Amino acid sequence: MKKYLFTGFMALYLLAPAFAQKRATWIWYPGDFEVWLGNNMQNRRTERGTFLPPFWKLDSHYNLIDFHKDFDLTEAEEVALAVEGKYNVKIDGKAFPGYPKRIRVPAGKHKLSLKVFCQDRVPAIYVKGKNVVSDDTWLVTFEDKEWIDETGKASDQSGTTWLLAGSWNFDNINTPPSEFRLATKPQPAVKTTRTGKSFFLDFGKETFGQIKLHGLTGKGNVDIYYGESAEEARTTATCETLDHLEISQPAKRDSVMELTKAFRYVNVQVDGSVSIDSVSMLYEYLPVADRGSFRCSDEEINKIYDVAAYTLHLNTREFFIDGIKRDRWIWSGDANQSYLMNYYLMFDSPSVTRTLLALRGKDPVTSHINTIMDYTLYWFIGIYDYYQHTGDKAFIKQFYPRMQSLMNYCLGRRNKNGLLEGLAGDWVFIDWAEGLSKKGEVSFEQLLFARSLETMALCAQIANDAPNAAMYSKLAADVKAKLFANYWNEQKQALVHSRVDGVPTENVTRYANMFGIFFNYFTEAQKQGVKQNVLLNNNIQKITTPYMRFYELEALCAMGEQPYVLNEMKAYWGGMLKLGATTFWEEYNPTKKGAEHYAMYGREFGKSLCHAWGASPIYLLGKYYLGVKPTAPAYATYLIEPKLGGLQWMEGKVPTPDGEVTLACSTKEIAVTGTNAGTGTLRFSSKTRPVCRQGEVRATGNGQYELTVEKGKHYVVSYQL
Amino acid sequence: MKKYLFTGFMALYLLAPAFAQKRATWIWYPGDFEVWLGNNMQNRRTERGTFLPPFWKLDSHYNLIDFHKDFDLTEAEEVALAVEGKYNVKIDGKAFPGYPKRIRVPAGKHKLSLKVFCQDRVPAIYVKGKNVVSDDTWLVTFEDKEWIDETGKASDQSGTTWLLAGSWNFDNINTPPSEFRLATKPQPAVKTTRTGKSFFLDFGKETFGQIKLHGLTGKGNVDIYYGESAEEARTTATCETLDHLEISQPAKRDSVMELTKAFRYVNVQVDGSVSIDSVSMLYEYLPVADRGSFRCSDEEINKIYDVAAYTLHLNTREFFIDGIKRDRWIWSGDANQSYLMNYYLMFDSPSVTRTLLALRGKDPVTSHINTIMDYTLYWFIGIYDYYQHTGDKAFIKQFYPRMQSLMNYCLGRRNKNGLLEGLAGDWVFIDWAEGLSKKGEVSFEQLLFARSLETMALCAQIANDAPNAAMYSKLAADVKAKLFANYWNEQKQALVHSRVDGVPTENVTRYANMFGIFFNYFTEAQKQGVKQNVLLNNNIQKITTPYMRFYELEALCAMGEQPYVLNEMKAYWGGMLKLGATTFWEEYNPTKKGAEHYAMYGREFGKSLCHAWGASPIYLLGKYYLGVKPTAPAYATYLIEPKLGGLQWMEGKVPTPDGEVTLACSTKEIAVTGTNAGTGTLRFSSKTRPVCRQGEVRATGNGQYELTVEKGKHYVVSYQL
């Protein structure tokens, strides 16, 4: 594969436009900043003041990197250099002495190279001349193998794999990657209650950042108890997060807590002679704008959408994280949903690739991602979706070897039946659900495995690796065939949950069945069977996490059950709102009462009240109500299939790599504007013959119509739902 | 293999004496400090002020480590803790808040665990109570996989591999591993010449350390040019190393150069108003004592031994390095000779294992060690020899998986004939020798490959991996059979150098032939053929590096040519001494003249004049003249086969894991004292019937005799050579 990769990126490189951009940016070995930042973020977790790091292997960046690029200059130029690490600089292999900050690159064809060692941070460079700038067209390697013989002659056969440099948005020479911090802004509490010298604050809604104590002085202790609920902030013995400060501060000064926390309520207790003038916070966030939107005739749905969007923003940080209070880790299954929601809200690709790369880490693979079998498989699926939405072949080509080694790990863990079954050290997660069996060969895992293999087949094609593309296709077909042979129960009209000792169980759960629908693995008859016997069957164990409700409702939407799903959304997410939620939760069981809702993992306030996987209405409303989705990578072609699902009207935008699809839809009119690049197909049903002055509406039978939406054009269709 | 490893170390662990030592020492994940320190050392190289890092992949330590040990205490105890990194501390899974420096461990059975994250240094801990101490009986892992379910229950099936902690000699709580520095002592020059305000210093012999400028003051530049030869220090334009300082120092002060250098001569040039009172150095060294010794009737040989010992000491530092002036890198082929010399001089096992671990680094393997095919193979051979000399099974058990993955890399690079042939990125080194062909399948590489596979078979047995032991044995036999089938030329009575396109060349070189002798791969007839037609044949290309002279002379010694080799040593190493060498060189060609000797790699002073591989007389004199070598691991049994080789008398010591073999031998008397542990066999020839009062001498025929040397006993044998 190394051979291939070389060819692959060379092609890319040679095709890069001659008028390459002159924007200089900090660059590094691709994936390394993501690994490094992931380590930093995931090791910031504390639980009541105790450091609580991840329980899986963390990788490190490569500490010694060679960067180079060939330039052809019409005149010599002065070039400024900045480097994270110890380095040398060479032109055409000849080194400058010391650690130059400015060099002169002569006119003509020259190779500029820097070699950097750095253990604590990611080796990174910034090069800024007129034409000579560092950007993602530079080539990098962690082993240049540039030996010499006894005469000083360099080796003439290279076995080195060069990749394109990684970068993000560090365009300023003075802000190297290691200095990256999220943005902050001051924010006051909406309600402050003082009792003696202590404070109880309500910030009005769930938020995230650092508490700031203004005018702190005196001698004694300050204890700060954080709560997502008022109960939590008041229950100092069992709240999940806290700060303890010992103060000896003669003159008043402002003090900002070192660690960021999630909270709505903050309980600040002081003793001794300590006094504080007031308390506020620094809200911390990733500055990323919304490009998608949704508004409709139902105010409860609008509120759900807004709270979901806020929930997703709070959990879109250095990476897509699970929840802001507790783990703040990158969990692949959680992140997979954030990717999908992101495509309908911010369409921020760097957040997707940062997260994918941090999750993947480095070789060797010694366990499943996050130790969870399904989470490894979601990683592949995340790449599948990323490609569908962005068409980013360069990403796939660069990281295809890491995809291969992760898939090799999975293939090496198949049992004698060629299926995935939990071995020692494998966490089969599926969902937080009481009594859910993880024993034997679980159908859900095989289903994700099949889709992962399909992803590998696709990516192998993109990476021009035809032999392995064929191999992965064959493996995918094989696993899919086994899925139906082993688990499809004709009588129950459903996939059963598992096989134990080679015998299918009688247990039917929702998981494999609902994924099978939107993976399009079922025949039409099977779909209907699954819908009636599983999805709409109250005797099948109910799902109580927004995590799996995401997929359950997606499956129903994919079968045209938008009216039913709208009611479910109002009941479930609306249910949380009625309980005062300002962000959506990790788990919601409507049968629970009061503060019972806050408990999880055997801890009184263990549950996260701001969990990314709670934000799925963003995705459902964009993809299945506005009905916009790509049908070819990067929205080269796409579908607009609006479904009001009982709403009077709706309007909104769905972002694509190049512009947004803008849609307004009532029961009588559909107005749509295409993106700047692709070709859309508007598909809708109408009781009357639709009218459109900007394009030709085609009847496709059974009261169904289609309209081609050309790039950048606006269409208004009169119709009758 | 994980399964096995677990069983392996558990056995070790359970067998550890109940009265485990109470010495506390800093501990870490095994191999990680070595990798980290190797990175630091190998990235200190500069060439005329330019940073010159290695060209192969450098690995990193695991940054997140779990340490634990179970204790059973009769009474509670106070325990002090020190940690490199961010950490938590738990007793029986229950965490202390914050970052405690002292804890109380209650009486009874308890598990004490610490989890540590550290990116820039190696996660390391120091635990010091009465019985609760950190040492190499603790267990460590980089992935504990301690997940919980939704009720808070921990996972009940562990897939975690636990290893025994790594340690060295960091027994003081205040000197953590990251603070490690070699020892230094002040040393004056033996001759100082002042010219104006500048200095030219001669330290009397090759040395290593930092230059110290006493009473430095004024404004201007100080340029320091270092030379292993006076010519180099004087030739400011091309000397290999230098320092440049810009001084603005109103009051006198002493200034120590930041970087260590190798030199005998130092040329200190100042300008402006700069003045210096005097110049001295801080000699830097690894404090490790000699346990071996050698003295004989030939003063030139004694001088050669002393200079070789000094050469080896200068190159025995953080690791066994190649040479002190230039690379200061860890080269596996060079290190392999240092291991062998070390067994006859210091017997410092930590220096061997530090070097082996730093060379090996981490998975995945992406190139040969140091990028050199033969250097990967020497790594295996180094382990073979380490085991023979020390019997350290624990080391092999801990690192057997890394041996396997490295061997898998080699096996994956065999050509269609099952032989190793240089692929793109593989450096086939063999030796620095003019015009030496590296094309096709080189016999020397196959020979090292066969011995490496034999090593793997041995280590697989030690690691209780019987199936793979059988596999490696079969592979070794196969490669060995191919070696003779493909390369043995009956007419030339020698192995030819290579096959190109499946056809053996006519070219005979010394390399494979001399190794074949001491690997004992030849029949007796083949040996004699090789000796006459290759080793003693002046028409075969001569070896000009002490590196390969090491093995050439070993082969001759192994065939009883000690008198010949003694003369060669006097001519070759004595030749360097006659040219004024105070340490032995990287290369010596007696036909060169004057300063020609200093050139290499196309650079005027490119050659290293203090190269570890120049020190082989230590090994040859200990193993083949004193004649002491293990015949079972760790000298459980050993041979003492003294060969005067023309000397009138010799005496000396050879270190073993438990005491030294002490020997004095003349043509009439052999006096020997056994080690504290093993059983030796003294083997010698005598014209008359030998007499020994302390033991029974057995005649074995043809004037050969043997005497069993019991542990700790002294024997005097009268005989007649």
Delineate the domains of chain B, giving CATH numbers in brackets: 2-179 (2.60.120.260), 183-285 (2.60.120.260), 367-522 (1.50.10.10), 626-718 (2.60.420.10)
**pLDDT of A153:** 74
Phi/psi of residue A578, nearest 5 degrees: -65, -25
Other C-beta atoms closer than 10 Å to the C-beta of B166 total 24
Residue B108 clears pLDDT 90, i.e. is over it: yes
∠ CA A14-A18-A21, rounded to 5°: 110
SS3 for B272? coil
Half-sphere exposure of B552 (CA within 13 A, CB side): 25
What pLDDT is attached to residue B394?
Answer: 97
Cβ atoms of B384 and B341 within 8 Å: the answer is no
Contacts of B246 (CB under 8 A, 6+ apart): B220, B221
Give chain A positions within 8 Å (CB) of B125. none
DSSP designation for A535: I
Q: Is A209 left (phi over 0), alpha (psi -120 to 50) or beta?
A: left
What's the rounded Cα separation, in Å, for the pair B415 and B420? Answer: 6
Residues of B in contact with A361 (CB under 8 A): none
**Two tokens, residue A265:** 């309520």
Measured CA to CA, the distance from residue B498 to residue A39 in angstroms comes to 49
Assess whether pLDDT exceeds 50 at residue B18.
no
Asked if A158's CB is within 8 angstroms of B117's CB, the reply is: no
Site of tokens 């010219």: B195
Give the Cβ contact number of residue A481 at 10 Å.
Answer: 11
Give the span between the Cα atoms of A641 and A632, in whole angstroms.
16
Query: Which residues is A113 bridged to in the sheet?
Result: A68, A90
With beta carbons less than 8 A apart as the criterion, state whether A333 and A430 touch.
no
Alpha-carbon distance of A116 to A29, in angstroms, equals: 11
Q: Which pLDDT does position B156 carry in this prediction?
A: 63
Residue with tokens 């010794």: B293
B56–A157: do the CB atoms touch at under 8 Å? no
Identify residue A268 by its one-letter amino acid code: V
Residue B625: pLDDT above 80? yes
In what order do the strands lie in the sheet containing A94-95? A94-95, A86-91, A108-117, A64-73, A139-141, A163-164
Quote the CA–CA distance of B447 and B437 in Å, as a whole number.
Answer: 16
Residues 6+ apart with CB under 8 A from A718: A668, A669, A690, A691, A692
Quick one: which of A93, A178, A156, A170 has its CA closest to A127?
A: A170
CA distance B124 to B126: 7
**What per-residue confidence (pLDDT) applies to B30?**
98
| Set of chain B residues whose Cβ sits within 8 Å of the Cβ of A49 | 97-98
Residue B142 reports pLDDT greater than 90 = yes
E-strand ranges in A74-133 read 77-84, 86-91, 94-95, 102-105, 108-117, 124-128
Is the Cβ–Cβ distance between B274 and B216 less than 8 Å? yes
The reply to whether residue B427 touches residue A51, judged by beta carbons under 8 angstroms, is no
Q: What is the per-residue pLDDT across B269-327, written as a single tens digit (0 to 9) for each?
A: 999 999 999 999 999 999 999 999 999 999 999 999 999 999 999 999 999 999 999 99
Contacts of A525 (CB under 8 A, 6+ apart): none
Name chain A contacts of B86, Cβ cutoff 8 Å: 43, 51, 53
User: Is there a contact between A643 and A615 (Cβ–Cβ < 8 Å)?
Assistant: no
The two beta strands, B679-685 and B704-709, are: antiparallel
Beta-strand pair A139-141/A102-105 = unpaired
User: Strand, helix or coil at B572?
Assistant: helix
- Cα–Cα distance measured from residue A152 to residue A256, given in angstroms and rounded to the nearest whole number: 58
Q: Band the pLDDT of B10: cuts 50, 70, 90.
A: very low
Q: Among A39, A364, A600, whose Cβ lies nearest the Cβ of B150?
A: A600
Residue A590: cis peptide before it, omega within 30 degrees of 0: no
Residue-wise pLDDT tens digits, A680-710: 999 999 999 999 999 999 999 999 999 999 9
Of A51, A405, A423, the CB nearest to B159: A423
What is the rounded distance in angstroms from the CA atom of residue A583 to the CA atom of residue A303? 11
Q: In degrees rounded to 5, what are phi and psi of residue A448?
A: -65, -35
Check residue B15 and give its pLDDT.
Answer: 43
Burial zone of A238 (CB within 10 Å; 0-12 exposed, 13-18 middle, 19+ buried): middle
Residues paired with residue A491 on neighbouring β-strands, in sequence order: none
Contact assessment for residue A565 and residue A645, using Cβ atoms and an 8 Å cutoff: yes
- What's the token pair of residue B456? 């793997």
Whether B53 sits inside 8 A of A88 (CB atoms) is yes
For residues B8 and B464, the answer to whether their CB atoms sit within 8 Å is yes
Q: What gap in Å lies between CA B679 and CA B665, rounded to an integer?
A: 19
Residue type, B680: G
Residue A157: its pLDDT value, please? 64
Q: Which residue of A has its CA nearest to B153?
A: A601
Task: Tell me which chain A residues have a C-beta less than 8 angstroms from the C-beta of B221.
Answer: none
Contact check, Cβ <8 Å, A50/B95: yes
**Interchain pair B427, A155: CB under 8 A:** yes
Question: In the predicted model, is pLDDT for residue B244 greater than 50?
Answer: yes
B664-719 pLDDT, tens digit each:
999 999 999 999 999 999 999 999 999 999 999 999 999 999 999 999 999 999 99
Q: What letter does residue B644 receive in the DSSP assignment?
A: -
How far is B345 from B616, CA to CA, in rounded Å? 11
CB nearest A119 (choices: B50, B60, B98): B60
Q: Which residues of A are less than 8 Å from B54 in CB distance?
A: 64
Summarize pLDDT for B517-564 with one digit per residue, the tens: 999 999 999 999 999 999 999 999 999 899 999 999 999 999 999 999
Q: Which residues of chain A have pLDDT under 50?
A: 1-21
The CB density around residue B107, as the number of other CB atoms within 10 Å, is: 12
B295: phi then psi, degrees, rounded to nearest 5: -140, 145
- Binned at pLDDT 50, 70 and 90, residue B6 comes out as very low
Of the candidates B43, B150, B405, the beta carbon closest to that of A432 is on B150
How much is the ipTM here?
A: 0.94
Residue B559 CA, distance from chain mean position? 26
Q: What angle do CA B7, B13, B19 make, to 5 degrees?
A: 160
For position A94, what pLDDT does the model report? 95
CA atoms of B394 and A113, how far apart (whole Å) = 44
- Residue B319's nearest CA partner among B355, B358, B356 is B355
How many CA atoms are closer than 13 Å to the CA of A309, on its beta-carbon side?
21
Residue A98: DSSP 8-state: S
Name the residue facing A424 among B98, B150, B158 (closest C-beta). Answer: B158
- So what's the pLDDT on residue A16? 45
For residues B148 and B66, what is the distance between their CA atoms, to the nearest angstrom?
Answer: 17
B366 chain-A contacts, CB cut-off 8 A: 142-143
Mutate to test the interface with B, among A83, A114, A143, A244 (most CBs of B within 10 A): A143
CA B407 distance to own-chain centroid: 20
Q: Identify whether B364 is preceded by a cis peptide bond (ω within 30 of 0).
A: yes
Q: What is the pLDDT of residue B157?
A: 64
pLDDT value, residue A17 = 46
Residue of B nearest to A97 (CA): B50
Q: Which residues contact B134 (CB under 8 A, 6 or more apart)?
A: B24, B25, B26, B27, B67, B125, B126, B127, B128, B165
Distance from CA of B60 to the nearest CA of A (A): 7
pLDDT of residue B451 exceeding 50, the answer is yes
> HEC profile for A246-265?
EEEEEEEEEEECCCCEEEEE
Residue that the structure tokens 């193979």 belong to: B377
Task: Calculate the average pLDDT of chain B.
Answer: 95
For residue B22, what pLDDT band results from cuts at 50, 70 and 90?
A: confident
Rounded to whole angstroms, the Cα distance separating A553 from A534 reads 13
Report pLDDT for A327. 92
